[in-house]
């Protein structure tokens, strides 16, 4: 006898105010000499550290997310008009991150200090959530509730009863918990949009 089941996909949604600022910075230093490149890169990072400390952050709050040194070449024409690859130098690419509690005034002070540090990093500001595990738990609870509500309606409309849960499928992907607000100005008071996230689960019930 074939087993009778009902499979339903549930969607969970969460909307919450951001409470975390993430400043992502990219530093690129290129010189013809390997040692000079690394020394200049280190000086730039130290300048940023001093800048953030001046606004009340700990030195250790500045984290490296990626670090790479590679050779750079450029295309040039030789005397015969042929294109050749010419060694340009060594590039140090340093990706940094600074996270702290959401405070727009402090964010402005921090960006101002970094901009005056002389390091001139490229940066991107995002607003996120500190307790990501709590948000994920709420999403899963909402998704299961949503699946159960749908299954109950479908079972009733079909003249059957829901039995025990046979199986739950969930893809453990990384959640994107960022506000859609983008911020690149200094000295402007803003209110970031809420962080909106969704996730899904698939639940399989026995039906009677």
**pLDDT tens per residue across span 107-122:** 989 999 999 999 999 9
CA distance 108 to 184: 10
State the Cα torsion 93-129-183-97 to the nearest 10°: -20
Helices vs strands, H then E, count in the chain: 3, 7
Average pLDDT of the chain, as a whole number: 91
Q: Of all residues in the chain, what percent carry a pLDDT higher than 90?
A: 76
The domain 21-124 having CATH identifier 3.30.70.2970: the answer here is yes
- Strand boundaries in the chain, DSSP class E: 5-16, 20-31, 62-77, 83-101, 122-128, 162-169, 195-207
CB atoms inside a 10 Å sphere around CB 7: 14
Cβ(200)–Cβ(9) below 8 Å? yes
Closest CA to 29 of 14, 8, 7, 45: 45
What is the tens place of the pLDDT at every residue in 157-185?
999 999 999 999 998 877 888 998 877 65
For the chain, the structural domain boundaries read 5-17+131-207, 21-124
Q: Which CATH superfamily is domain 5-17+131-207 in?
A: Protein of unknown function (DUF541), domain 1 (3.30.110.170)
CA distance 49 to 87: 32
CA distance 76 to 110: 42
Per-residue burial over 43-69, b if 16 or more Cβ lie within 10 Å, else e, is ebbebbbebbeebebeeeebeeeeeee
Q: What is the pTM of this model?
A: 0.81
């Amino acid at each position: 006898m074939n087993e009778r089941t009902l499979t339903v996909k549930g969607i969970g949604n969460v909307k919450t105010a951001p409470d975390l600022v993430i400043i992502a910075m990219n530093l690129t230093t290129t010189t013809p000499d390997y040692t000079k490149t690394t020394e200049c890169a280190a000086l730039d990072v130290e300048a940023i550290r001093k800048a953030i400390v001046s606004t009340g952050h700990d030195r250790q709050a500045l984290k490296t997310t990626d670090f790479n040194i590679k050779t750079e070449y450029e295309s040039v024409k030789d005397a015969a008009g042929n294109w050749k690859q010419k060694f340009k130098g060594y590039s140090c690419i340093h990706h940094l991150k600074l996270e702290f509690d959401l405070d727009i005034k402090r964010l402005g002070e921090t960006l101002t200090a970094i901009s005056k540090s002389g390091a001139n990093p490229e940066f991107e500001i995002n607003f996120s959530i500190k307790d990501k595990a709590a948000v994920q738990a709420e999403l899963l609870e909402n998704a299961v509730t949503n699946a159960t509500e749908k299954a109950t309606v479908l079972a009733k409309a079909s003249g059957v009863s829901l039995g025990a849960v046979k199986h739950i499928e969930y893809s453990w992907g990384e959640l994107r918990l960022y506000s859609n607000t983008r911020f690149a100005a200094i000295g402007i008071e803003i209110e970031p949009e809420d962080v909106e996230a969704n996730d899904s689960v698939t639940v399989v019930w026995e039906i009677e």
